[in-house]
Amino acid sequence: MKKVAILTSGGDAPGMNACIRAIVLTAEHYGLEVIGYKHGYNGLIEQEYKLLAPVNVNNIGQRGGTILKSGRCVDFHTEEYGRAAAKNLLDLDIDALFVIGGNGSFRGAHHLSKYYNGQVIGLPGTIDNDISGTDATIGYYTAIETALDSIDKVRDTADAFERIFLIEVMGRHAGFIALSAAVASAADRVIVPEDCGDIEVEVDNLIEHLQAVYRVRGLSSYIVVTSENLLPGGVITLANMISEKTEIECRPVILGHVQRGGSPVSQDRILAAKLGAYAVEQAIEGHNAVMVGEHNNQLVTLPIEVSWQQQKPLDKYLLKVQRQLLNL
């Protein structure tokens, strides 16, 4: 093995730069040349790349975003693009490609492995934390901290006016950020897709809980944290539903893409460093079409299909804590 490549794909996540740095420095240690493809799979198709030496990754670990930029390539699943990408890698004599991203990025990596004779290794980089096989994904911890900081600020104004606020966090179709941020911020209620059936029933349960809180505490602030994509219109629709049933004004707050930005917290920097170095070593050992992760404080290597074939479960006890034990 002489030359490897890196790309970052899909939604950016704090810690991607730290992971790029770890791959480059580990590759340097083992005498490997590194190139970085820009704009995800789009750059791979267009052969848009730059050389990555240690000097290029100096002091990037603390920066959010990705120095390689990112992007989505909706047509990458086709045979035409798979073969074009494989040819570009072979033209540059790339022995292994590291893909830092989420489920969509990993599906792209799996598709590429059908046409590319080299190695493809995925590193989980997404704030959603929805990749099976690893306890946490790069960017997840920072997203929690960003959401928590915003929820704490909303709580201040909610207390001042004794208002109901519904706060929508990201996560695509997973409730990891919502649940963790809700527990950490002492939110009164959390609604996540993994534990939400009929939304009308969920709203009725929420109102029943709200009334119980008012009986205990009197008129007070009330914070609900929800995941995105729970229903059409999201938290705005949900706020209208509650207002119609209670005749109490509910203020919706959508945190949005602010959760993807910012300097990565220590947990994400450490995870990125470990996975980046480990991925290079796994490539040197000959692994292909795999993802690397960390489970129970042990680094692991799994077939890349595991990331989307198995649904990653929420922490049921943490959900119980928020729903049943700490909800008044």
Q: Tell me the catalytic residues.
A: 128
99 pairs with which residues across the strands? Answer: 7, 122
Nearest CA to 147 out of 116, 117, 122, 183 is that of 183
Residue with tokens 């929508």: 168
CA-based R_g, the chain, Å: 22
Q: What tokens were used for 175?
A: 């409730």
Q: Packing angle between helix 79-91 and helix 103-112, nearest 10 degrees?
A: 70
Query: How far is it, in rounded angstroms, from Cα 195 to Cα 176?
Result: 12
191 pairs with which residues across the strands? Answer: 226
The one-letter amino acid at 234 = G
**What is the DSSP code string of 88-116?**
HHHHTT--EEEEEE-HHHHHHHHHHTTT-
**What is the DSSP code string of 163-184?**
-EEEEEE--TT--HHHHHHHHH
- Note the Cα 232 to chain centre separation in Å: 22
Residue with tokens 């009725």: 204
Query: How far is it, in rounded angstroms, from Cα 40 to Cα 9?
Result: 4
Query: How far is it, in rounded angstroms, from Cα 175 to Cα 230?
Result: 10
